[in-house]
Amino acid sequence: MRKLFRYAGKYKIYLFLAPILIIGEVVMETFIPQLIAQLINMISKAEETAIDMGEMLKLGGLMVLMAFLSLGFGAGSARAASVGAMGFSRNLRHALFEKVQHFSFKNIDKFSTASLVTRLTTDVNQTQNTLMMLVRMAFRSPVMFIMAFYWAWRLNPSLITILLVAVPILIIGLVTITRLAYPRFRVLMSKYDTMNGSVQENLTGIRVVKAFVRETFEKSKFARSADDLMDAQRRAEKIVILNGPLMQILMNGCIVAVLWFGGRQIVGGTMELGDLTAFITYITQILMSLMILSFLFVSFVMSRASVARILEVLEEVPDIETPENAKTEVADGSIVFEHVDFSYTGTEERAVLRDISLNIRSGETVGLIGATGSGKTTLISLIPRLYDATAGRVLVGGADVREYDTAVLRDAVSVVLQKNVLFSGSIIDNLRWGNEHATEEEITAACKVAQADDFVRSFPDGYETDLGQGGVNVSGGQKQRLCIARALLKSPKVMILDDATSAVDTATDARIREALRTQMPETTKIIIAQRIASVMDADRIIVLDEGRIVDVGTHEELMQRSDIYRDVYHSQQKGGDE
Ligand SMILES: Nc1ncnc2c1ncn2[C@@H]1O[C@H](COP(=O)(O)OP(=O)(O)O)[C@@H](O)[C@H]1O
Ligand SMILES: [Mg+2]
């Protein structure tokens, strides 16, 4: 919590104000029983001495005044605490979001998207609520305890000994509850992750789910994670609620004891009735303050799990970062792989790429084919440094990719990923992701190369057409062409198309390749495709199999010597997808 506190920023002042105001409230609240005691004492002695009306009115007036002051302080404190805690969580979310933006793919893989979402929402809420309680109750309770104890002591020191029995029992009970509950709350939060993961995956893939009629399966999967969450919640709450009965027993026990011993003192004439009433109020206040402290404790335990999860994100070191004195210029579009190995897990046995060596000239067009899972996407991900090679080096423009400013490198290496996304907004907004200062002519030119200009103009709103969330308004092939145009707008030195025309018809696909060749002769082009037709006119074609390069050559060469290549070619000739 302390580590997080600096995120309070300018809202710190409110978080300091809240406890100060609440102390005012408590001072008033603990003083009122004194006045009541005096009143009752006066009344109970009415038979012996006449009641002083003036004195009574003075006491009554003072009580009303104190009640109002207490109200004012309390309301002010509640407001300050809310403003402070909300401001804090706003800042914290900002910091988390900012941090996540710096994450590499590997960092994100590690947490999972769903878990990051839970951490930014549920965990921050939990922390915010605790902070709100903390700034009010953590001060209110001890001050109330001290004040009530002081007044009770002054009224009757002998009765205080009752607390010597009650308080240790309470503390032992609370510590036990907390110890047991904490691990259960950690489990609870991870169940939230699982459930959010299930919801998120289902919603992003809702079209696929429906197409494959997997609704029933998805429903039962969700039901399972919701049930798991309920169980985890039950297990955690089961411990926490023991708090209530423990408090009740102690509270009532103390009151009975006070009445028992205090009653005897009244009969014996050593205590006055009003003092006993006030004493009961004080003992209630003392135990109440301890109970609230215990709630605070529990809430603290709950949010300790959340705080830990938030800190994990904030303290995660982005594994791909711009080095000091980074290169800010990519010389050309040449690419070299030197004995590159790669594994997502970092372990050698599960390597996805093995001993890849390649030498691609600037401006060359290279085709990359291989079965699904052979490592094509992984291989090209190393070029813009979406991941770092596990062994060996990747060079772009003659320098190791780890020496570049990542922003510069990624501007120079434009990738149209297999799973590409458009964002909500108009077509032109989306294209400007490639280059926010692009002129209309540049945008049109890029769209012409990507064979997108015609269909965009055929829409009633043209380039201003709203894409809807994730680009649902355009067909798969149109989306792919927009993604290519967006990538082209970066005027990259290396252009990578990862199966980026899979949903485009063959004729259009050929026109895109033709336009790329004639319009961007300087740019190195790497084309991953399932169709041989998409790569056959490339300068060289790389055949990848189970993470190894098995052959490199032109279409004609490969037709002669590569069995794999010839097999794929023939299978596609025989009414494959051509
Ligand atoms: N983010 C990831 N984490 C772990 N394994 C992955 C990840 N992405 C891909 N893989 C694994 O790496 C292998 C190669 O995948 P990929 O490069 O996507 O193949 P291709 O693009 O040729 O179909 C596959 O076995 C796949 O399961
Ligand atoms: Mg792939």
Is 198 near ligand 1, meaning CB less than 6 Å away? Answer: no
Distance CA 85, CA 196 (A): 25
Q: Quick one: DSSP state of residue 514?
A: H
- Contact 103/318 with Cβ under 8 angstroms? yes
Per-residue pLDDT tens digits for 498-520? 988 888 888 999 999 999 999 88
pLDDT at 576: 46
Say yes or no to pLDDT of 223 above 70.
Answer: yes
Q: What is the mean pLDDT of residues 162-166?
A: 86
Provide, rounded to the nearest whole percent, the portion of the chain with pLDDT above 70: 99
Confidence of residue 574 (pLDDT cuts 50, 70, 90): low
Q: What is the mean pLDDT of residues 65-76?
A: 94
CA dihedral 68, 74, 75, 76 (to 10 degrees): 110
Encode burial over 407-419: b for 16+ CB neighbours within 10 A, e otherwise.
Answer: eebbbbbbbbbee
Site to probe by mutation for ligand 1, drawn from 103, 343, 352, 390 as the one with most ligand atoms within 8 Å of Cβ, is 352
Distance CA 425, CA 478 (A): 16
pLDDT at 367: 95
Say yes or no to pLDDT of 83 above 80.
Answer: yes
- Bridge-based pairing state of the strands 353-360 and 335-342: antiparallel
In sequence order, what are the residues at sequence separation of 6 or more whose Cβ sits closer than 8 angstroms to the Cβ of residue 374?
544, 545, 546, 547
CA dihedral 555, 358, 496, 393 (to 10 degrees): 170
SS3 for 210-241 is HHCCCHHHHHHHHHHHHHHHHHHHHHHHHHHC
Say yes or no to pLDDT of 137 above 80.
Answer: yes
pLDDT at 362: 94
pLDDT at 66: 93
Distance CA 365, CA 532 (A): 14
- Contact 450/511 with Cβ under 8 angstroms? no
CB atoms within 10 A of CB 41: 15
Is 374 near ligand 1, meaning CB less than 6 Å away? Answer: yes
Nearest CA owner, ligand 1 atom 5: 344
| Average pLDDT of every residue of the chain | 88
- Contact 333/522 with Cβ under 8 angstroms? yes
Q: Name the least confident of 286-295, 437-446, 514-523.
A: 286-295
Is 345 near ligand 1, meaning CB less than 6 Å away? Answer: no
Q: Which fold has domain 2-157+166-186+240-315?
A: ABC transporter transmembrane region fold (1.20.1560)
Q: Name the least confident of 133-137, 339-343, 345-349, 523-527.
A: 345-349
What ligand 1 atom has the least distance to the C-alpha of 374? 22
Say yes or no to pLDDT of 82 above 90.
Answer: yes
In this structure, what token pair is assigned to residue 248? 């009740």
Nearest CA owner, ligand 1 atom 26: 373
Nearest of 438, 434, 471, 436 to residue 456 by alpha carbon: 471
Distance CA 236, CA 305 (A): 12
Residue type, 227: D
Distance CA 420, CA 166 (A): 64
Every domain range in the chain assigned CATH 1.20.1560.10: 2-157+166-186+240-315
Q: What is the mean pLDDT of residues 303-319?
A: 87
- Bridge-based pairing state of the strands 413-416 and 494-498: parallel
pLDDT at 226: 92
- Bridge-based pairing state of the strands 391-396 and 365-369: unpaired
- Contact 21/28 with Cβ under 8 angstroms? no
Distance CA 144, CA 288 (A): 9
Terminal Cα-to-Cα distance of the chain (whole angstroms) = 61
- Contact 433/469 with Cβ under 8 angstroms? no
Residue type, 359: N
Per-residue pLDDT tens digits for 22-45? 999 999 988 998 898 888 888 888
Distance CA 328, CA 392 (A): 23
Q: What is the mean pLDDT of residues 412-419?
A: 86
pLDDT at 409: 94
Rounded to 10 deg, the angle between the 12-44 and 273-315 helix axes is 170
Is 398 near ligand 1, meaning CB less than 6 Å away? Answer: no
In sequence order, what are the residues at sequence separation of 6 or more whose Cβ sits closer than 8 angstroms to the Cβ of residue 98?
none
Per-residue pLDDT tens digits for 381-406? 999 999 999 999 999 999 999 999 99
DSSP bridge partners of 359: 336
Say yes or no to pLDDT of 578 above 50.
Answer: no
pLDDT at 89: 93
Nearest CA owner, ligand 1 atom 16: 375
What ligand 1 atom has the least distance to the C-alpha of 499? 21
Q: Cα dihedral sign for 236, 241, 242, 247?
A: positive
CA of residue 544 to ligand 1 center, whole Å: 13
Distance CA 452, CA 461 (A): 15
Q: Is 351 helix (H, G, I), strand (E, B) or coil?
A: coil
Q: Any alpha helices (H) in 102-123, and if so which ranges?
A: 105-111, 113-118
Task: Categorise residue 213: left if φ over 0, alpha if ψ from -120 to 50, beta otherwise.
Answer: left
Distance CA 97, CA 85 (A): 18
CA of residue 501 to ligand 1 center, whole Å: 20
Nearest CA owner, ligand 1 atom 13: 373
Nearest of 532, 553, 36, 560 to residue 274 by alpha carbon: 36
- Contact 151/33 with Cβ under 8 angstroms? yes
Class of domain 335-573: alpha beta
In this structure, what token pair is assigned to residue 252? 């009532």
Is 109 near ligand 1, meaning CB less than 6 Å away? Answer: yes
Distance CA 315, CA 99 (A): 9
What ligand 1 atom has the least distance to the C-alpha of 375? 17
Cα 330-331-334 angle, rounded to 5 deg: 95
Confidence of residue 470 (pLDDT cuts 50, 70, 90): low
SS3 for 445-457 is HHHHHCCCHHHHH
CB atoms within 10 A of CB 324: 5
Q: What is the mean pLDDT of residues 77-96?
A: 94
pLDDT at 577: 47
Query: 131 or 213: whose pLDDT is higher?
Result: 131
Q: Is 545 helix (H, G, I), strand (E, B) or coil?
A: strand
CA of residue 529 to ligand 2 center, whole Å: 9
